[in-house]
Structure 1
């Protein structure tokens, strides 16, 4: 599994650099020890592998549970350290698995918007990532992708020429004691703050 992951990471690094002139702004901010929720905008299927391949360590991510139903796709996703999540209901299994990963010092990629953008524009954040922030007690690293939508937008069958840039923000550790909200209101407030930080990142 580890070998497959690292070979895949190398493949996506070469693909990103060779076809899309991929560059990372603030790459030094990716090198830190300990757990983190990596929070990014979501515009393309290229987002998870390109972000993950920018790190020198394993990055976990999510995919909808139905994608694991196909034997080959399920095998590949599991070997890419992708966690299955059921979007149709409150998935406590995904929550518990993520908290275990964060508490063991791992990094987990999440998309506050919940789904890929239809037009490349930023979307409002959903409360889900706020729940993970509150329960996982891990810092958040905001990042933003530019050009991935132009390279492989939602509904596209083929890759298109484009330059892709990943902009890395500053690590943020929210102090939950300073928030007056609780429950879903707190989760949404945290999610909105993450999205604000992503929005401010410029290539």
Structure 2
């Protein structure tokens, strides 16, 4: 880990364990020894990236809104934290190609297929871009689910609240084109993303 990543990694561990009774459950063997893995999670809060990130001993890579990189200091910080800029208003293939290339190179990348944080706790449909990455990268996918982060830091500017935060680890999933032979193009990518979100939804604390 680079110095900046390790600093925020350690700080996040102290905060989440000290104030939110953070714990990791499920198939925790999946947290070790895997290279080139796409991690897919539900999206409850701004706390979600560190909630998932500190479960791993290795660095993760993250997707972040492209506009956050425009400020010199903040943009440099996001890059040191392994963030990949994404234009959420006008998505293009540039960011997706970067994600695919880094996955094939052995990086672990965290994505939130819903694209935005939940307002009411219910999961949103997965965006087709994640399905495209899965189909093109050909790497294992690890579904995880976050519980408690929405209460801890709700969407809408509310102050942090006491909450227990749990991360549930699922089992590795491998994309098999034979199981999706009836789908093509965007329908294929959307279906893959829907299936991944269904796997996330099945995980229970």
TM range (shorter): over 0.9
TM-fit CA distance, 1:157? 4.6
Q: Partners of 1:74 and 1:160 in 2: how far apart?
A: 29
Alpha-carbon shift at residue 187 of structure 1 (Å): 0.2
Determine helix, strand or coil for the equivalent of 2:90.
coil
CA distance in structure 2 between the partners assigned to 1:95 and 1:125 by the alignment:
15
Structure 1 runs, 4 residues or longer, greater than 6 Å off: none
Q: Which residue of 1 aligns with 2:198?
A: 196
Q: Is the 8 A contact 2:96 2:129 kept in 1?
A: no
Q: What CA deviation, in whole Å up to 9, does each residue of 1:170-195 have, x standing for no partner?
A: 00001113312111011011001101
Aligned residue pairs: how many?
203
Give the conservation status (yes or no) of the 8 Å contact 2:43–2:117.
yes
Q: Which runs of 5+ in 2 are unaligned?
A: none
Normalised TM-score (structure 2)? 0.95
Aligned mates of 1:3, 1:92 — CA distance in 2: 31
Counterpart secondary structure, 2:40:
strand
Offset of 1:122 from its aligned partner?
1.1
* CA distance, structure 1, for counterparts of residue 10 and residue 22 of structure 2: 14
Say whether residues 1:6 and 2:6 are aligned partners.
yes
Compute the TM-score of the two structures, normalised by the length of structure 1: 0.95
Superposition RMSD in Å: 1.3
Give 1:120 shift: 1.9
Deviation at 1:46, TM superposition (A): 0.3
Query: Structure 2 CA distance, aligned partners of 1:127 and 1:103?
Result: 20
CA distance in 1, matches of 2:67, 2:91: 15
Matches within 5 A, 1:84-163: 84-163=85-164
CA distance in structure 1 between the aligned counterparts of 2:132 and 2:32, rounded to whole angstroms: 25
2:49 aligned residue = 48
Q: Deviations over 1:82-131 (max 9, x none)?
A: 11001122322211211111111111000111111112221111111101
The separation in 2 between residues aligned to 1:6 and 1:43, in whole angstroms, is 24
Q: Which aligned pairs between 1:172-187 and structure 2 lie closer than 5 A?
A: 172-180=173-181, 181-187=183-189
Once residues 115 and 73 of structure 1 are traced to their aligned partners in structure 2, the CA distance between those partners, rounded to angstroms, is: 21
Structure 1 match to 2:23: 23
| TM-superposition CA deviations, 1:150-185 (whole Å, max 9, x none) | 000112253211000000000000111331211101
**Structure 1 residues 157 and 71: CA distance shift in structure 2, 3 A:** farther
